[in-house]
A = this chain, B = another copy of it.
């Protein structure tokens, strides 16, 4: 039996657009506004996970109990700080070319992000993603965000493909863990600022520098017509 063609499920921030560091500092500013001290590297290591798990992490790291109201307020402040910074955000090298190449090869692809559509929309526009054609699953549409598998499972379902064909491309350990939980093949990119070994330990089958580097090696992970 021949396996089906690969279908690619992409994370957005740090994977296709260069927005992770701005998100990290926007969270840092939001926490600072609320008088919650947290070192920046700890935020970086938790970025891309669901808000609920993020607030559990805050409880663990700071000892402060973060109520649902507090979390809502943090989320609003984060979105404001991020918007102020977002004029500096660019597509990552090779991102548009990689998506175009998948289209040429006739391989299905979708986007699955832990962010909300409010903050993700600008990034999708920057990449020229046609949301009438490409499935885009955001945090608003699923019960649990990463590292739960829901975002990737929903994205594959929208494409009409089984997880045995799914290749998850992400920059964070949470993407790789969610990929494993979804029984997809995880492919890590260094462009979000995690280390190679962190991604490998989290289950990445392969790690590339950025979308341009993945495009160069696309045949290694099923990228052929």
Within 8 A of B (CB), among A22-52: 22, 24-25, 28-29, 32, 37, 39-41, 44
Interface size grouping (class) on chain A: 20 to 34
Contacts of A25 in B (CB 8 A): 21-22, 25, 88
| With A88-B28, A88-B29 as contacts: A41 and B190 at CB distance below 8 Å | yes
Within 8 A of B (CB), among A176-225: 190-198, 210
Contact call A21/B18, Cβ cutoff below 8 A: no
Contact call B192/A41, Cβ cutoff below 8 A: yes
Return A133 CB to nearest CB of chain B, in Å: 27
Contact call A195/B192, Cβ cutoff below 8 A: no
Return A199 CB to nearest CB of chain B, in Å: 9
Contacts of A28 in B (CB 8 A): 21, 88
Cα–Cα, bound, A222→B112 (Å) = 48
Cα–Cα, bound, A190→B24 (Å) = 16
Supply 29 A–B pairs (Cβ within 8 Å), ascending by A: A18-B39, A18-B41, A20-B41, A21-B24, A21-B25, A21-B28, A21-B40, A21-B44, A25-B25, A28-B88, A32-B88, A37-B93, A39-B92, A39-B93, A39-B191, A40-B193, A41-B191, A41-B192, A41-B193, A44-B193, A193-B193, A194-B195, A195-B195, A195-B196, A195-B198, A196-B197, A196-B198, A197-B197, A197-B198
Q: Which residues of A contact B (CB under 8 A)?
A: 14, 18, 20-22, 24-25, 28-29, 32, 37, 39-41, 44, 88, 90, 92-93, 190-198, 210
